[in-house]
Amino acid sequence: VSSLRKALEDKIVIDRERLTKLKKEHGAVPIDKITLDQMVRGMKSVKALLTETSRLDPFKGIRFRGLSIPECQVQLPAKYREPLPESMFWLLLTGSVPTQEQVEELRGELASKAKIPEKVKSLLASLPKNMHPLTQLSLGVLALGENSYFDTAYNKGMKKSEYWKPMLEDSINLVAKVPTIAATIYRNVYKDGKVSEPREDLDWAENYSRMLGWEDTNFFEMMRLNLCLHCDHEGGNVSTHAAHLVGSALSDAYKSYSAGLNGLAGPLHGLANQECLKWLLDLRQIVGDDPTDAAVEVYVRQNLRDGKIIPGYGHPVLRQTDPRFIAMLDFANKVIEDCPTLKAVEICYKVVPKILKDIGDIKNPYPNVNAISGAVMYYYGLSELEFYTAVFGVSRTLGIAANMVWDRALGLPIERPGSLTLENLEEIGQKS
Ligand code: MLT
């Protein structure tokens, strides 16, 4: 048994007891209440999900198993400066910071499982080039799910308490292979269709980067950071929640993650990073490569007068600058020089919150990670905007996979909330 499996099993024993005790002693304690307004506004921030991997504070941003992004950057094992996504996966799964040796073991396992079956390659090659890369990724993942460990074990009548084990095997397999599927799509759609084989001596992010076609150490570091930053955002975001919901019906890891990707494909979720970069490139067309703050301000105000939103600003939960944005900006400031798109990002960061605050009635005038992630990838020559959501999707595999394992480990049941009609709401309204 690998050290990951052992560490996870130990933690599962403890956390199952914690949950049983909580249910027994405090099962009737109210957690939250929901107003009519919250119900018809997407249940924003209503606390209704049990998610162990991360928690989002509206003002401080994401904590991965309690650790902030800067803490992860200091504590998680790295090859150079940025944490290895393998360390992040370990942290999300087990709740503890791994040692270098533990990460190396997991790295080796993922790299050894990174090749994808010929059938999946042929399927991807047969897809129309104009099909969005995320749709292709979702299809590729479904095809990968043939003979899932979970389905096989379930059909053999495995005990419920053991469900997490085949779910973990599927999850590891999924995490190992998703970068290869994504890179194959990228090479098919935008390049010559030739993809290098994943190498057993490389880490997850470097393998992915090389399969995409990059050989630059700074690009690998950027990818390590990018893949760590987008991995998880507590349980209620559309992709994680969709995967959790589908998995709650005991659908396997591939079907559940694929459902998450289909949610990520929406412009209000993962597609936003593509839209943000498009907006920044349009801005550059108008204000030039070395604009003043005032010129950017004029452009932003005109956009708002035209009834457009400023992509990358605001967030359903966050009420401060997204720490993922800050981590990316910090990376860019350290490593990248003279990039006009990133200059535009920085000027926007200075002027947009001020303008949005002037308008009033805006809950969060600050940037989220999408306001910068595309600009950094663009700088490195990853200039196919439609592919950006697929990079996000590869990263989100880590959080979704870890959650699927925990959902089965804690024996979480099928998710089935109730619903009301307008008439019911009117009755409730009248009685209040
Ligand atoms: C995410 O990373 O999932 C996005 O910031 C959206 C969200 O948290 O709802």
Mean pLDDT, range 316-331, rounded to an integer: 97
Mean pLDDT, range 82-93, rounded to an integer: 98
Q: What is the best residue among 275, 315, 319 to mutate for testing ligand 1's pocket, by most ligand atoms within 8 Å of CB?
A: 315
Q: Where are the beta strands (DSSP E) in 28-159?
A: 54-57, 61-64
Among positive and negative, which fits the CA dihedral 118, 119, 123, 126? positive
Ligand 1 centroid distance, CA of 237 (Å): 5
Which residues have C-beta atoms less than 6 Å from ligand 1?
233, 237, 269, 315-317, 368
Which tens digits make up the pLDDT trace of 190-207?
Answer: 999 999 999 999 999 999
Cβ distance 357 to 365 under 8 Å?
yes
Which tens digits make up the pLDDT trace of 1-12?
Answer: 999 999 999 999
């002693």: which residue's tokens?
Answer: 25
The CATH architecture of the domain made up of 1-30+49-416 is Orthogonal Bundle (1.10)
DSSP letter assigned to residue 55: E
Instruction: Give the C-alpha separation, 380 to 373, whole Å.
Output: 11
Q: Please give the structure tokens belonging to residue 328.
A: 């990316």
Q: What is the best residue among 41, 238, 364, 391 to mutate for testing ligand 1's pocket, by most ligand atoms within 8 Å of CB?
A: 238
Instruction: Give the C-alpha separation, 137 to 189, whole Å.
Output: 12
Percentage helix, strand, coil, to 5, in the chain? Answer: 60, 5, 35
Mean pLDDT, range 351-373, rounded to an integer: 95
Q: Please give the structure tokens belonging to residue 7.
A: 């560490």
What pLDDT score was predicted for residue 412?
98
Is 90 exceeded by the pLDDT of residue 15? Answer: yes
Amino acid identity, position 353: P
Ligand 1 centroid distance, CA of 44 (Å): 12
Closest-CA residue to 351 (of 363, 367, 334, 335) = 367
Ligand 1 centroid distance, CA of 101 (Å): 32
Domain boundaries, the chain: 1-30+49-416
Within a 10 A sphere around the Cβ of 126, how many other Cβ atoms? 8
Which tens digits make up the pLDDT trace of 162-188?
Answer: 999 999 999 999 999 999 999 999 999
What pLDDT score was predicted for residue 361?
81
Is the pTM higher than 0.95? The answer reads: yes
Q: CA 127, 173, 415 angle in degrees (round to 5)? A: 90
Mean pLDDT, range 90-111, rounded to an integer: 98
